Structure 1
Amino acid sequence: MLLSGNWIAVCAFLVWGLLPLYFQYIPNSNVFEILAIRVLFSIPFIYLLLKLVSIPSQIVWQAMRSKRTLLLCFLAGLFNCVSLYSFTWAVTNGQVLAASLGYFINPIFSIILGVIFLKDRLSKNQKAAVALSLAGIGYQVMYYGELPWLSLIMGGAFALYGLIKKFVNLDALSIMLIELITMLPIALFILFGEVWQGSSVWQSGDTTTMWLYLLSAPITLIPLLLFSLAVERTSLVMIGFIQYIEPSLQFLLAVIVFGEVLLQVKVVSFGLIWLGLLLCLADMTMKKPTLPPSTAG
């Protein structure tokens, strides 16, 4: 049970939900440099994991000969970077509630994409949860009179990331390694550009900040790895609902730890979304876990 895709997803989103506690120590950080460092230092880490679990590295090199696989992994990596940039900027600039809303919106995108492209079917509880979630978000939009663009970009990009991974017939680690390799030229361009301008964290002389930047790589990679494993083992619809754990934690951190103002409109909106989450969790616990689909390699 604990190794099912659903529960792996629960672990991933618990870790993601607590990430603002880490990023509070690097406020107003250079988000591009953080993401570039993450790509650079994650490649050897994922490669070592491949060796540890006895996945032949030849699988990766053979897969990279396929233009289709390279394109899909590049797109997945690009959408993940867009989502991570939005999230990291939000939590390092005092916008944890915006990050929370972004990941409340994301499951709706995931569910819609799963139904349209993967022919996933919704149970009665899941349909009710979608309706409650849309009502909660719609209430915020009506109250403020504008779309929450940062949250929409964050949630939409991550939903597309999860969808694209469904079309790559490889194990999760191999996919992640190819994603990172395709992002490497962009990461190196950013890092060299920061050094050229003299604004790199390596040139600041601040050892603490440098280590916080470096450690952000494994801290953000671990939940992403768990998420990738979950995508292999459960439906995009189910992942969409489980993801509500992450923004719920971020919501609580924003209000209790970071002291962001909680207006009545947000209480109503988030309350409707949480009710949908409870219906989803009830659905998940009542159903027996399904066997994971077979993957190449």
Structure 2
Amino acid sequence: MQTHRAGNALAAFSFVLWGILPLYYQFLPQADINELLSFRIIFSVPFMLLAIMLLRRPMPSFSALWQDKRSLAMCGLAGLIMCVSWYAFTWALTQGNVLEASLGFFINPLFAIALGVLFLKERLSSAQLIASILGIVGIGYQVWHYGELPWISLIMGSFFALYGLCKKHIKYDALTSVTVESMLLAPVALTYLLYTISTGSSTVFASDVSTLLLYIGSAPVTLAPLIFFALAISRTSLTMVGLMQYIEPTLQFLLAVFLFGEVFDEVKAVSFGFIWLGLILCSLEAIAGMLRQRHRAA
């Protein structure tokens, strides 16, 4: 029971850290997203290796990684997919579109459900089916009124769901997987940064030291929640994790509306309302299932 509570606390803390990330990126308005992503990838490698060492986990060895070539290849694919999702997320945070980032994470479970049905042959429950329909209605309502798709939210939600699908085919542990993803992409990121420096097109190295440190800091501030999440996942149930994942977009939504003053008009209220209703139905179904399991166990 104590382990379970510790797991719940660690999971909640990880989602809170993810939820308040927009506060960090307010110090990097109009950031160069390409350079920011490159810095995050490169400095993720030493940060993850340090985290593995401090947590006294076994260091990833090349021979052990090479024995499972499929997982190694999937790490490369997962890293590329995460880059797309993170690019959209970072752009939203640095361009004053935190509300779009929030929407992306709210609709992510709906994409995850769709991928589960298409690729993992999972069956939709009644609540999941209704939630999917409500999500489509919510997005459709925005498109009808604004005349355009919420591209940033859709890219974030869909690619993060694809990232989750890739992770199901990786046999390495969570920390090793993230480290390998960064290692595989680091040469590309480093080559890009060296190119910007050699051509004089780098905005980071032409700026002050504080900006450079903020770019470097994007690695630990985004990976720290992931480490807490990895520690939590073995100590609590997936149902609890699924319920607590809405802490992140909820905090981002509150920051966007009440702190950053982003516009939350009637159209967005209706659109979010449909999506929230679907997620509430899924949450209630998950809670009911968890209570039934506990009753059987008793």
Please indicate the TM-score interval, normalised by the length of the shorter structure.
0.7 to 0.9
Deviations 1:43-93 (A, max 9, x none): 122112223333322555411354322210001011111111111111111
Q: Give 5+ residue unaligned stretches, structure 1.
A: 291-297
Residue equivalent to 2:15: 13
SS at 1:2 equivalent: helix
* Whole-angstrom CA distance in 1 between matches of 2:135 and 2:242: 12
Q: Contact 1:108–1:240 at 8 Å: present in 2 too?
A: no
Task: Kindly report which structure 2 residues correspond to 1:120-269, keeping only aligned pairs within 5 A, or say none.
Answer: 120-200=122-202, 203-227=205-229, 242-269=244-271
Deviations 1:15-58 (A, max 9, x none): 22211111111101111111211122221221122233333225
Residue equivalent to 1:2: 5
TM-score (norm. length: structure 2): 0.84
- 2:205 maps to a residue whose letter is Q
* Whole-angstrom CA distance in 2 between matches of 1:111 and 1:184: 31
Q: Contact 2:71–2:172 at 8 Å: present in 1 too?
A: no
RMSD: 2.8
Residue equivalent to 1:293: none
Q: Give 5+ residue unaligned stretches, structure 2.
A: 294-298
* Whole-angstrom CA distance in 2 between matches of 1:31 and 1:43: 19
* Whole-angstrom CA distance in 2 between matches of 1:284 and 1:193: 50
Deviates more, 1:73-82 or 1:7-16: 7-16
* Whole-angstrom CA distance in 2 between matches of 1:166 and 1:104: 21
Deviations 1:263-293 (A, max 9, x none): 1011111122222333333344441699xxx
Q: Percent identity?
A: 50
1:34 equivalent in alignment to 2:40: no
* Whole-angstrom CA distance in 1 between matches of 2:42 and 2:146: 40
Residue equivalent to 2:50: 48
Deviations 1:212-256 (A, max 9, x none): 112111111122334556777766x98666544322322222221
- 2:30 maps to a residue whose letter is N
* Whole-angstrom CA distance in 2 between matches of 1:166 and 1:266: 33
SS at 1:76 equivalent: helix
* Whole-angstrom CA distance in 2 between matches of 1:166 and 1:283: 23
Deviations 1:1-20 (A, max 9, x none): 3355x775544333222111
SS at 1:105 equivalent: helix
- 1:13 maps to a residue whose letter is F
| Pairing partner for 1:85 from 79, 87, 96 | 87
* Whole-angstrom CA distance in 2 between matches of 1:289 and 1:70: 39
Q: How many residues were matched structurally?
A: 288
Q: CA deviation at 1:161?
A: 0.7
Q: Contact 2:74–2:170 at 8 Å: present in 1 too?
A: yes
Q: Contact 1:111–1:240 at 8 Å: present in 2 too?
A: no
- 1:19 maps to a residue whose letter is L
Residue equivalent to 2:69: 67
